[in-house]
Amino acid sequence: MTNVFDTEDEPEEDSVEAFIGDTLHLFDEIEPPAAVDELFDDFLYNFIDDAHFQGQRIVYPLPCKTGDEEEKLTQQEWPQYDHFKNQELLSVIYEREQDFVLSKDTSMQSVAVEWIGLKSDEVEKFHFNRVENKWMLTEIDKKHRSEIPNGDFLNFYARFVADSIFQREALAEPVKVILTSEDGEEEPQEEHLNADEWFEMRQSLPLPTDAIVNVNYGQASISQNRKILMLQGLGNGMQMKFKFNKQDDGWKLMEIEY
């Protein structure tokens, strides 16, 4: 007798598992749109924010150079070099206001991102290049702060954020503060801070104290007497500029703009 509950249409267990596996695999293969490779900033945001995307954009084995020595990093070794994890703040160090437009240049073929230790003398320079129209991390270069173009300023800055007495001596008298409106339609407001007012304001400022993650688009590093440290929040639109000049008695914080 035929069992009326038997049916050839009932899927087998293996078929169901295969279907689920294929479906999950489809979600794994979803990638950000091609526009993510137009502006380096858009790529970098995804590289930091999305671990799956990051894994697709590193060339392995990854060359890691220290002076004349070179080692090849495997994917398993990458996490010890991943200074991007949970990063919420990026910087750009430049000298001329017009150089900041480099961040909007979609024709760029290479950009370096520098992890600069402030409690150590270490710098790790991550080289990103376009490979078949996609931004890829292709090399790491280890250096000391004194070996990079902004080394003198960075040595000063490391001491500036660590030593409050030195910091007080490195303030202009007074420090100018320029407040701009979010829409840019209102006239900027200008204030001036003495040292005590600076230290009160300093508590709410996002100045990095452990390390700086600096984006180098290839901006000029000609003058050793003027630096602008721009800090940018990831995903929250925060942007602040700290302007420093080097005078006869050393570097001074001259102006803050936000």
CA atoms within 13 A on the CB side of 52: 7
Confidence class for position 24, pLDDT limits 50, 70, 90: very low
User: What whole-number distance in Å separates Cα of residue 83 and Cα of residue 229?
Assistant: 20
Asked if residue 33 has a cis previous peptide bond (ω within 30° of 0), the answer is no
Which tokens sit at 20? 């689920």
- Which of 116, 110, 141, 128 has the alpha carbon at shortest distance from 58? 128
Burial-class residue 193 by CB neighbours within 10 Å (0-12, 13-18, 19+).
buried
Parse the chain into domains and list their residue ranges. Answer: 32-257
Summarize the confidence of residues 128-138 as an average pLDDT: 97
Asked if residue 32 has a cis previous peptide bond (ω within 30° of 0), the answer is no
Higher pLDDT, 79 or 16: 79
Higher pLDDT, 160 or 184: 160
- Which of 84, 102, 82 has the alpha carbon at shortest distance from 92? 102
Q: What residues contact residue 113 under an 8 Å CB cut-off, 6+ apart?
A: 44, 125, 126, 128, 213, 214, 215, 216
pLDDT at residue 12, as a whole number:
52
Backbone Cα Rg of the chain: 24
pLDDT at position 20 over 50: no
Summarize the confidence of residues 97-126 as an average pLDDT: 93
Whether 205 and 193 have beta carbons less than 8 Å apart is answered as no
Average model confidence (pLDDT) across the chain: 87
> What percentage of the chain carries pLDDT values higher than 90?
71
pLDDT at position 27 over 50: no
pLDDT at residue 222, as a whole number:
78
pLDDT tens column, 57-76: 999 999 999 999 999 999 99
Confidence class for position 25, pLDDT limits 50, 70, 90: very low
